[in-house]
Amino acid sequence: MFAGKDPKKESENVSQFSTIIAKGTTIHGDLESVGNIRIEGRIVGNVKAKSKIAIGETGKVEGNILAVNAEIAGEVKGIIEISELVSVRPSGVVNGDIIAQKLTVDTGATLNGSTKMGIITKEIILQTDESEITAKAV
């Protein structure tokens, strides 16, 4: 059915998709995505993305975060591990440690925890099989 298609190209196309958790939505459990994740609601569980995680002003995460990039304008209670850049915005509140290559904390942001910068974070491995994601996205 998918003969002749380049699996790498299909995987790159999937990573351009975004998952949005709307304000007023609560999820109990882990969330994983190859694409971007925007959180305006509440997640009680770990969040993993092979791209960017953005937590809006109304967003709350009670769990660990693992991603390539992150922008935090809401609240996080857990360990944040980012392979590139973490930006904590003025309305952002982080109660936990941050491990990242680069970190920016805007004036007004709250950071209660330790930070480790310039170290390599662990590889982001999703539990879902990549070929299954590619097949569903086409």
For the stretch 74-125, pLDDT in tens is: 999 999 999 999 999 999 999 999 999 999 999 999 999 999 998 766 778 7
- Token output for 56: 């809006």
Q: What is the pLDDT of residues 6-56, one digit of tens each?
A: 544 444 454 466 899 999 999 999 999 999 999 999 999 999 999 999 999
Picking from 43, 125, 111, 26, the residue whose alpha carbon sits closest to that of residue 103 is 111
The burial of 19, by beta-carbon neighbours within 10 Å (0-12 exposed, 13-18 middle, 19 or more buried), is given as middle
Residue 39 and residue 22 in contact, taking contact as beta carbons nearer than 8 Å: no
The answer to whether 89 touches 109, Cβ cutoff 8 Å, is yes
Helices 130-137, 7-14: axis angle to 10 degrees equals: 80
